Structure 1
């Protein structure tokens, strides 16, 4: 849960680097939250009302952590646009996001992972 809240605190931070754990834990908690919000929305009979509000609320933090994750792998944030390529773009983006980050400082800043963990 702390990873989710940390990303929300960095609401529109597109600079710097993010660890794999930060990105994927945010993704996991976001999926759980989407399921809960959609279920509540359906139970109240207001679908679609709460879901789009939640989606818009976490859109920028999600883009921010994804761009920072790409920075950790040494790629530009514009690499997120690979996701727009039909059929293979999403797969390419998942591979980029799952790749281990660079151990040394790169053009986007120092490694977010403590050096003792390597």
Structure 2
């Protein structure tokens, strides 16, 4: 029983490492990132906003007197889905998510400039979603060694 609990705790720790790894590699636009790192970060980002919306989100029926006629009250969805705290979180997460997306494209031996596809309405976002779901190239490529290589032990810095 202790081994099972220890195993579950270890799995939880590894999952959190994957979720927080992009923050440790904040301005690192070089190298490669696995699908697991990308999707765990997306999951973390969505969960944080879900919690912030639950705590600080408002709707038109519950507007308080802190509105001051501007449309921006504390917890307003216009500030960032979770109020001011959500806006600050989104701002702090912008560079890591951009760098992670570039590294994810590098894992497939593609240029990070493909992120500009997001500027194309409808098609661009779907194309990037498909690219983020694809597996990376096996072995080293022009952007670095394979992050799935078991010999590469420097995954969590």
TM-score w.r.t. length of structure 1: 0.90
The structure number with the bigger radius of gyration is 2
TM-score, scaled to structure 2: 0.69
Q: CA RMSD in A?
A: 1.6
Q: Which has the higher helix share?
A: 1
Gaps of 5+ in 1: none
| 1-structure distance, mates of 2:106, 2:86 | 29
- Would you say how many aligned residue pairs link Structure 1 and Structure 2? 115
Deviations 1:67-99 (A, max 9, x none): 100000111111111111111111111111111
- Structure 2 distance, partners of 1:103, 1:63, is 23
Counterpart contact for 1:17–1:109, Cα < 8 Å? yes
What secondary structure does 1:112 align onto? Answer: coil
Could you say which structure has the greater relative contact order, defined with CA pairs below 8 angstroms and 6 or more residues apart?
A: 1
Distance 2:117 2:103 in 1: 15
**Secondary structure, aligned partner of 1:26:** helix
Unaligned ranges ≥5, structure 2: 1-15, 59-72, 76-82, 152-157
Match of 2:97 among 54, 57, 62: 62
> What is the rounded CA distance, in whole Å, between the counterparts of 1:42 and 1:93 in structure 2?
29
Secondary structure at the counterpart of residue 49 of structure 1: helix
